[in-house]
Amino acid sequence: MHFVIMGCGRSGATLAQMVEDRGHTVAVVDQNPNAFRRLGGQFEGRRVTGLGFERDTLIDAGIEDAYAFAAVSNGDNSNIIAARVARETFGVHNVVARIYDAGRAEVYQRLGIPTVATVRWTADQMIRRLLPSGAAFEYRDASGMLLIAEVHVHLGWVGRRISALDEATGARVAYLTRLGEGLIPGPETVYQEGDLVHVVLREAEAPRVESVLAAPPTRES
Protein backbone atom coordinates (compact mmCIF):
# COMPACT_ATOMS: atom_id res chain seq x y z
CA MET A 1 0.00 0.00 0.00
CA HIS A 2 1.05 3.59 -0.60
CA PHE A 3 1.15 6.31 2.07
CA VAL A 4 1.62 10.06 1.72
CA ILE A 5 2.96 12.07 4.65
CA MET A 6 3.01 15.87 4.71
CA GLY A 7 5.72 17.28 6.94
CA CYS A 8 9.25 16.02 7.38
CA GLY A 9 9.96 17.14 10.91
CA ARG A 10 11.03 14.59 13.49
CA SER A 11 7.49 13.22 13.76
CA GLY A 12 6.93 12.93 10.02
CA ALA A 13 10.34 11.36 9.40
CA THR A 14 9.77 8.83 12.19
CA LEU A 15 6.31 7.96 10.88
CA ALA A 16 7.68 7.54 7.34
CA GLN A 17 10.36 5.13 8.52
CA MET A 18 7.83 3.13 10.55
CA VAL A 19 5.50 2.76 7.56
CA GLU A 20 8.35 1.80 5.21
CA ASP A 21 9.68 -0.73 7.73
CA ARG A 22 6.30 -2.46 7.50
CA GLY A 23 6.78 -2.99 3.78
CA HIS A 24 4.68 -0.14 2.38
CA THR A 25 5.65 2.59 -0.08
CA VAL A 26 5.87 6.14 1.22
CA ALA A 27 6.09 9.66 -0.20
CA VAL A 28 7.05 12.52 2.10
CA VAL A 29 6.11 16.09 1.21
CA ASP A 30 7.80 19.19 2.62
CA GLN A 31 8.34 22.68 1.27
CA ASN A 32 11.88 22.74 2.67
CA PRO A 33 14.12 20.30 0.76
CA ASN A 34 16.65 20.37 3.60
CA ALA A 35 14.10 18.70 5.86
CA PHE A 36 14.47 15.43 3.96
CA ARG A 37 17.87 14.92 5.58
CA ARG A 38 15.96 13.64 8.62
CA LEU A 39 14.92 10.60 6.60
CA GLY A 40 18.46 9.28 6.41
CA GLY A 41 20.24 7.44 3.64
CA GLN A 42 18.29 4.19 4.05
CA PHE A 43 14.91 5.70 3.21
CA GLU A 44 13.72 4.43 -0.19
CA GLY A 45 10.52 6.44 -0.53
CA ARG A 46 9.80 9.56 -2.53
CA ARG A 47 10.84 13.02 -1.41
CA VAL A 48 8.50 15.66 -2.86
CA THR A 49 9.28 19.34 -2.41
CA GLY A 50 6.20 21.56 -2.32
CA LEU A 51 3.11 22.56 -0.35
CA GLY A 52 1.21 19.53 0.85
CA PHE A 53 -2.20 21.01 0.16
CA GLU A 54 -1.51 21.85 -3.49
CA ARG A 55 -3.04 19.50 -6.03
CA ASP A 56 0.03 19.10 -8.25
CA THR A 57 2.29 18.43 -5.27
CA LEU A 58 -0.03 15.74 -3.96
CA ILE A 59 -0.30 14.13 -7.39
CA ASP A 60 3.53 14.03 -7.57
CA ALA A 61 3.47 12.27 -4.21
CA GLY A 62 1.08 9.60 -5.54
CA ILE A 63 -2.04 10.71 -3.69
CA GLU A 64 -4.26 9.23 -6.40
CA ASP A 65 -3.09 5.74 -5.42
CA ALA A 66 -2.70 6.40 -1.69
CA TYR A 67 -4.23 4.17 0.95
CA ALA A 68 -3.68 6.80 3.66
CA PHE A 69 -2.56 10.39 4.20
CA ALA A 70 -1.05 11.95 7.33
CA ALA A 71 -0.60 15.70 7.81
CA VAL A 72 2.06 16.33 10.45
CA SER A 73 3.56 19.69 9.49
CA ASN A 74 4.04 22.41 12.11
CA GLY A 75 0.94 24.38 11.08
CA ASP A 76 -2.62 23.57 12.11
CA ASN A 77 -4.17 25.33 9.13
CA SER A 78 -1.89 23.62 6.63
CA ASN A 79 -2.56 20.23 8.19
CA ILE A 80 -6.33 20.49 8.16
CA ILE A 81 -6.46 21.98 4.65
CA ALA A 82 -4.21 19.23 3.31
CA ALA A 83 -6.24 16.55 5.09
CA ARG A 84 -9.49 17.86 3.62
CA VAL A 85 -7.98 18.04 0.13
CA ALA A 86 -6.76 14.45 0.44
CA ARG A 87 -10.18 13.24 1.51
CA GLU A 88 -12.56 15.47 -0.44
CA THR A 89 -10.62 15.95 -3.68
CA PHE A 90 -8.77 12.65 -3.99
CA GLY A 91 -11.08 10.36 -2.01
CA VAL A 92 -8.50 9.07 0.47
CA HIS A 93 -10.47 7.51 3.32
CA ASN A 94 -7.72 6.99 5.88
CA VAL A 95 -6.65 10.51 6.81
CA VAL A 96 -5.14 11.87 10.04
CA ALA A 97 -4.17 15.46 10.85
CA ARG A 98 -1.97 16.59 13.70
CA ILE A 99 -3.38 19.66 15.44
CA TYR A 100 -1.48 21.67 18.03
CA ASP A 101 -4.59 23.28 19.54
CA ALA A 102 -6.55 20.53 21.31
CA GLY A 103 -9.70 22.68 21.35
CA ARG A 104 -9.58 23.15 17.59
CA ALA A 105 -8.94 19.44 17.16
CA GLU A 106 -12.43 18.66 18.46
CA VAL A 107 -13.94 21.08 15.92
CA TYR A 108 -12.07 19.41 13.07
CA GLN A 109 -13.14 15.97 14.29
CA ARG A 110 -16.72 17.09 13.61
CA LEU A 111 -15.73 17.76 10.00
CA GLY A 112 -14.91 14.08 9.69
CA ILE A 113 -11.12 14.43 9.85
CA PRO A 114 -9.55 12.31 12.62
CA THR A 115 -7.12 14.53 14.51
CA VAL A 116 -4.41 13.96 17.08
CA ALA A 117 -3.53 16.81 19.42
CA THR A 118 0.20 17.08 20.05
CA VAL A 119 -0.15 16.75 23.82
CA ARG A 120 -0.88 13.04 23.26
CA TRP A 121 0.71 12.53 19.85
CA THR A 122 3.25 9.82 19.13
CA ALA A 123 4.20 8.17 15.86
CA ASP A 124 2.82 4.93 17.29
CA GLN A 125 -0.65 6.45 17.79
CA MET A 126 -0.63 7.81 14.26
CA ILE A 127 0.30 4.49 12.68
CA ARG A 128 -2.49 2.69 14.53
CA ARG A 129 -4.99 4.94 12.76
CA LEU A 130 -3.40 4.54 9.35
CA LEU A 131 -2.58 0.86 9.03
CA PRO A 132 -5.39 -1.51 8.12
CA SER A 133 -4.78 -4.03 10.88
CA GLY A 134 -3.12 -4.52 14.20
CA ALA A 135 -4.98 -4.10 17.49
CA ALA A 136 -3.67 -1.52 19.94
CA PHE A 137 -3.96 -3.13 23.37
CA GLU A 138 -5.24 -0.61 25.92
CA TYR A 139 -6.14 -2.64 29.02
CA ARG A 140 -5.53 -6.14 30.39
CA ASP A 141 -7.59 -7.59 33.24
CA ALA A 142 -6.00 -8.99 36.40
CA SER A 143 -6.18 -12.58 35.13
CA GLY A 144 -4.27 -11.62 31.99
CA MET A 145 -6.87 -13.35 29.82
CA LEU A 146 -9.08 -10.45 28.71
CA LEU A 147 -8.02 -7.36 26.81
CA ILE A 148 -9.56 -4.14 25.62
CA ALA A 149 -8.05 -3.24 22.27
CA GLU A 150 -8.63 -0.53 19.67
CA VAL A 151 -9.26 -2.43 16.43
CA HIS A 152 -9.29 -1.08 12.87
CA VAL A 153 -12.68 -1.50 11.17
CA HIS A 154 -13.12 -1.55 7.39
CA LEU A 155 -15.26 1.24 5.92
CA GLY A 156 -17.57 -1.40 4.54
CA TRP A 157 -19.04 -1.68 8.05
CA VAL A 158 -20.23 1.95 8.01
CA GLY A 159 -23.99 2.01 8.60
CA ARG A 160 -24.07 -1.47 10.20
CA ARG A 161 -25.20 -1.87 13.78
CA ILE A 162 -22.45 -2.38 16.33
CA SER A 163 -24.21 -5.61 17.31
CA ALA A 164 -23.31 -6.90 13.81
CA LEU A 165 -19.62 -6.46 14.66
CA ASP A 166 -20.18 -8.47 17.86
CA GLU A 167 -21.94 -11.26 15.98
CA ALA A 168 -19.31 -11.44 13.25
CA THR A 169 -16.36 -11.60 15.63
CA GLY A 170 -17.75 -13.31 18.73
CA ALA A 171 -16.15 -10.50 20.71
CA ARG A 172 -17.84 -7.48 22.28
CA VAL A 173 -17.49 -3.82 21.38
CA ALA A 174 -16.99 -2.19 24.77
CA TYR A 175 -17.20 1.42 23.60
CA LEU A 176 -16.58 3.80 20.70
CA THR A 177 -14.64 7.02 20.50
CA ARG A 178 -16.75 9.32 18.34
CA LEU A 179 -15.81 12.94 17.67
CA GLY A 180 -13.34 12.76 20.53
CA GLU A 181 -15.87 11.48 23.10
CA GLY A 182 -16.52 8.02 24.53
CA LEU A 183 -19.81 6.31 23.62
CA ILE A 184 -21.26 3.06 24.98
CA PRO A 185 -23.15 1.50 22.05
CA GLY A 186 -26.80 0.61 22.44
CA PRO A 187 -28.95 -1.79 20.41
CA GLU A 188 -29.50 0.75 17.62
CA THR A 189 -26.00 2.28 17.53
CA VAL A 190 -24.41 2.04 14.08
CA TYR A 191 -20.77 2.29 13.10
CA GLN A 192 -19.91 5.69 11.58
CA GLU A 193 -16.88 6.71 9.56
CA GLY A 194 -14.24 8.09 11.92
CA ASP A 195 -15.34 5.99 14.92
CA LEU A 196 -12.58 4.33 16.92
CA VAL A 197 -13.74 0.88 18.02
CA HIS A 198 -12.61 -0.60 21.35
CA VAL A 199 -13.26 -4.33 21.70
CA VAL A 200 -13.18 -6.69 24.68
CA LEU A 201 -11.60 -9.99 23.65
CA ARG A 202 -9.30 -12.81 24.62
CA GLU A 203 -5.71 -12.22 23.53
CA ALA A 204 -5.60 -15.46 21.57
CA GLU A 205 -8.62 -14.30 19.56
CA ALA A 206 -7.10 -10.94 18.61
CA PRO A 207 -5.69 -11.97 15.19
CA ARG A 208 -9.03 -13.48 14.10
CA VAL A 209 -11.06 -10.48 15.31
CA GLU A 210 -8.66 -8.09 13.55
CA SER A 211 -8.94 -10.11 10.33
CA VAL A 212 -12.77 -10.11 10.38
CA LEU A 213 -13.11 -6.38 11.03
CA ALA A 214 -10.32 -5.37 8.63
CA ALA A 215 -12.39 -6.83 5.76
CA PRO A 216 -15.81 -5.71 4.50
CA PRO A 217 -18.78 -7.56 5.98
CA THR A 218 -20.06 -10.68 4.32
CA ARG A 219 -23.69 -11.03 3.30
CA GLU A 220 -24.35 -12.94 6.50
CA SER A 221 -22.87 -10.18 8.72
Instruction: Identify the structural domains of the chain with CATH numbers, from first to last.
Output: 2-130 (3.40.50.720), 136-214 (3.30.70.1450)
Residue type for position 23: G
pLDDT at 174: 94
pTM (predicted TM-score): 0.59
Give the relative orientation of helices 162-169 and 206-214 as an angle to the nearest 10 degrees: 130
DSSP secondary structure, 157-186, as one string: GTTSBHHHHHHHHSSEEEEEEETTEEE---
pLDDT attached to residue 207:
87
Instruction: Please report, in tens digits, the pLDDT of each residue of the chain (221 residues total).
Output: 999 999 999 889 989 999 999 899 999 999 999 999 999 888 999 999 999 999 999 999 999 999 999 999 988 889 989 999 999 999 998 898 888 776 666 666 666 677 766 544 456 556 656 655 555 667 777 777 888 988 888 889 999 999 999 999 999 999 998 877 889 999 999 999 888 899 999 888 888 998 899 899 987 66
217 DSSP 8-state letter: P
Confidence (pLDDT) at 120: 45
Order the strands of the 115-117 sheet from edge to edge.
46-49, 25-30, 2-6, 68-71, 94-99, 115-117
pLDDT of res. 112: 66
pLDDT at 76: 86
pLDDT at 130: 67
